[in-house]
Chain A
């Protein structure tokens, strides 16, 4: 095996384990996209040389022990309160790069208030939000982001608008808050989308490094176990069912030169 891992004459190793990612094999299910999200964060921290002063605030959910996998200093927060804990960390140590890594049950349900208010205050932190439309760790219950019609253990007939309401759109909500400098929704279902997601995470961290405000990246992810399908079919579901409900794209970027069409007031204010 070790012979195979050495570059032979004329060869170049073009994909290796990022040094910021621990060598530990994750506890995630086969095909779970948390592994990809972890790797993207680790690669960006390594590339921007921010790892030595990065502090991760871990959340509750499947990613609860993400501090075992991403080799940066970490704080574990109570369920949903990662952005509130990150606020304290960043204010106490403004020289650090502070980010939260949260799932949709954590950030979109129990921690919605803390997350939105940290964003509204424009705290100089980065939030990586993994949206897989279910509570993964506890067995696939309905999350705020569950799609209409989606069957979960708590919506066995499928989510109904009149009973459980509709899915929460975090990237859109974040983009409406004055303190948010950057909000983008990406997906981890294909190589092209993964590369775009890495660009978004890089942008989010560089915005924090420049001290411009709150940066937010939503990652549409698969949960093959709780969706009761194989990983390849789960990726197809992201493409066919999730992306039409959660459109990909940059919802806010204060560093962009072009003013978004939807921000009429910004246009008026500039004239």
Chain B
């Protein structure tokens, strides 16, 4: 499964990533960073598809996206 990593010191809690996530797996974390902004997290049970929509939308470059190729689409050796 793909995953996203939030750089918590960069996040400003604008929630634009939450709004654009097609899988709806992002949510406010309830925790604040040192600037006082409530950070966003990926819910543990969420299934990330690695589309990077959240990272494209993020105004603060606070998201890194790691994509794992789906098993069915892996190239055959």
Contact = CB atoms under 8 A, between A and B. Distances in A.
Interface of A: 1, 4-5, 7-8, 10-18, 21, 25-26, 28-36, 39, 190-191, 194-195, 224, 230-232, 235
Contact of A10 (B15, B20, B52, B69): B69
Given A5-B64, A34-B59, A14 B20 contact: no
B66 A191 contact: no
B9 A231 contact: no
Interface of B: 2-3, 5, 7-10, 12-16, 19-20, 35, 37, 50, 52-53, 55-61, 63-69
B61 A31 contact: no
A68 to B, nearest CB: 14
B65 A15 contact: yes
B35 to A, nearest CB: 8
Contact of B56 (A18, A34, A194): A194
Best-buried of A32, A34, A35, A195 by chain B (most CB within 10 Å): A35
A33 B59 contact: yes
Given A7-B66, A11-B67, A14-B66, A35 B61 contact: yes
A14 B12 contact: no
Contact of B66 (A13, A29, A30, A190): A13
Contact of B52 (A7, A15, A30, A32): A15
Given A8-B66, A16-B64, A194 B59 contact: no
A35 B57 CA distance: 10
A8 B63 CA distance: 17
A194 B57 contact: yes
A214 B16 CA distance: 33
